[in-house]
Each structure stands twice: as C-alpha cells, then as structure tokens.
Amino acid sequence: MDKIVIASRESRLAMWQAEHIQARLQTLYPGLTVEILGMTTQGDQILDKTLSKIGGKGLFVKELEQALQQGRADLAVHSIKDVPMQLPQGFSLAAICEREDPRDAVVSTRYADLADLPEGAIVGTSSLRREAQVRARFPHLQVKPLRGNVQTRLAKLDQGDYDAIILAASGLNRLGLGDRIRALLDPEDSLPAAGQGALGIEILTERTDLAALLTVLNHAETHACVSAERSLSRALGGSCQLPLGAYATLDGEQLQLSGLLAHPDGSMVLRANASAPWQYADALGRTVAKSLREQGADELIEAILEEQ
C-alpha cells in the first residue's frame, strides 16, 4: 500500500481532524502518500432544522461511507460523538484515537458562566442533551436551537443572537479557539455525549490490510472509555432524539461510567453509574443502561419520542 485517501467533511473542524490523522500517518509511514477527499454531507447542508428532526447525526457520515463503498476513499475520520451507535453492516471502527477534553464549554461575550446569566437570557445549543441539563439547572433561562459549524455558531453569538452558547471544548481547542471558552462545565453538571472529544477512524470491515496499518493509532484507554459509553447509548437506542449522556473514566484497571437520560424540558433527569474492570467495557455500559431502565428510562424514552 503506497497511497491512502481519507474521506472528510469540509468544515474547518472536520478538515483539522482529517489533517491531524494525515500527519500522524505520514510520520509513522514516511513512504505513504495520504490524501484527503473533502465532502459536503446532508447534515452540513440542512441548517434550518434540529438534527433530531432531520434524521440524526448519521447524516454527517452517510456520504463518507458511500465514498468508502465506492472505492473513492480508504478511510473516514469522524468525531466519535457523530457516529451512530450501530454502524451499517460491512463497516467498522479501526481505531479510536486519544481523547481531547471531553467537557462542554460555555462561550459568551458578556458572562463568565451560565450561573451569571439573568432571567430570560438566551442560551444556544444544537444538542437536546445539553438543553435538558441547562433547563434542569437553570429553568429561568431560554434555550434556543443553534446549528452550523463552529465559526457559524460563534458568529451568531458575536452578533447578539444569543447571550451564551455551549460547544464541545475539544472542537474549540483543536481550532485554536480555546481562548473563547469562558467556563468548562463539570461532567456532573453537563454530562458529555458518548465519545465526545475522541476521533474515530472508520473503514470497510473487509479492509484487514488497513486495520493492521491503523492499529498504532488506537489509544487503549480512550477505546475502553468510549466503548463503555457507546454500549450504554446503544442499549437505550441512543440517537439525537434522546437527551442522553454517557461518560467514562479509567482509574487504574477500573472503568467508572456515568449515564444520564433526561426529558428535553429538564423536568425529569435519570442518573446512574457503575464500575467494572476495563476489559468489561461493553458489559458495563449495559449495566448502567439497566439501572436507568429500572428508574423508568423506557417510559421516558417512549414519552419523548411520542412528543416529537
């Protein structure tokens, strides 16, 4: 193999991620030519509706997967939190790279934190998970939809459409915009999405040659944490339609996993956590999902989907 083509969305953040993997591969394999195929996905084109109403985050990866199937690209680089919990048959994640900061970040031109916002202030987010947790903690605030790439969202904040917005800290850091962060939200206050801050490399399952080449990019600790988080989300049918959070950390040999399911209006928030040896990441995710079910998760999910 002397050439690899990476499929990527064309947003600045997605291209940063693809270029990061490109640079790492070229450093590891100096004789390898690595090119990037930039693509615009449905998720990038439809900006006037929330993801939960147009088909979910799978709209950010479908065109990239088609490029893999058609042989126009060899691998696709994704933010793991944008990857559906069930990959289509014939696709697999060959590597999960070391995680950036997984926390949610508050960005504002006037206020230092969400607690400083006055009654009626407008908070922008594209995530039902973030919305539910903000509404639960700060019922006096307004939460309004915010779509678009990072630069578009920051521009809407800067022109006064919002008093504060919430973005993933990892994306801001990767784009060199960490100085825009006014506050980082503790996971206890804003539990991250499954896989937030981690990059995943998707390939066709049959490409065992690529799988062997990419193994070196896999980060064992991040892989274990993300596997537990995605297992929890998968067990509850996780999608953009559900305000669902999952966050794992590794302490020695033990994985600690926290899960959250909430009503979008913040009126009900279910929480559960458990721990297990890292080798049992998938089982740990199912255990925490079971605990949420015992608190009424299935009934809450049914109610949320009926309202939509």
**What are the residue boundaries of the structural domains of the chain, listed by start?**
1-98+198-218, 104-184, 219-308
Whose structure tokens read 């693509």?
Answer: 39
What is the rounded CA–CA span in Å between residue 186 and residue 287?
23
For residue 258, which phi and psi values (nearest 5 degrees)? -115, 140
CATH topology of domain 219-308: Double Stranded RNA Binding Domain (3.30.160)
For residue 151, which phi and psi values (nearest 5 degrees)? -65, -40
CB atoms within 10 A of CB 113: 13
User: Structurally, what CATH architecture does the domain formed by 1-98+198-218 represent?
Assistant: 3-Layer(aba) Sandwich (3.40)
CATH topology of domain 104-184: D-Maltodextrin-Binding Protein; domain 2 (3.40.190)
CB atoms within 10 A of CB 282: 17
Point out which residues pair with 50 in neighbouring strands.
none
What is the rounded CA–CA span in Å between residue 249 and residue 253?
10
Model pLDDT, residue 59: 67
pLDDT in single tens digits along all 308 residues of the chain: 899 999 999 889 999 999 999 999 999 999 999 999 998 766 555 545 554 554 455 567 888 999 999 999 999 999 999 898 889 999 999 999 999 999 999 999 999 999 999 999 999 998 999 999 999 999 999 999 998 889 999 999 999 999 999 999 999 999 999 999 999 999 999 999 999 999 999 999 999 999 999 999 999 999 999 999 999 999 998 777 899 999 999 999 999 999 999 999 999 999 999 999 999 999 999 999 999 999 999 999 999 988 87
Q: Catalytic one among 82, 101, 104, 163?
A: 82
Could you check whether 104-184 and 219-308 share the same CATH topology?
no
CB atoms within 10 A of CB 68: 20
Model pLDDT, residue 51: 47
Model pLDDT, residue 169: 97
Strand order in the sheet with 181-184: 142-145, 122-125, 164-168, 104-107, 181-184
Assess whether 209 carries a catalytic annotation: no
Model pLDDT, residue 148: 86
Q: What residues contact 118, with CB distance under 8 A and at least 6 apart?
A: none
Please answer whether residues 166 and 106 qualify as being in contact, where contact means their C-beta atoms are separated by less than 8 angstroms: yes
Model pLDDT, residue 47: 47
Model pLDDT, residue 62: 85
Q: If residue 79 lies in a helix (H) or strand (E), which one and from where to where?
A: strand 75-79
Model pLDDT, residue 49: 52
pTM of the model: 0.91
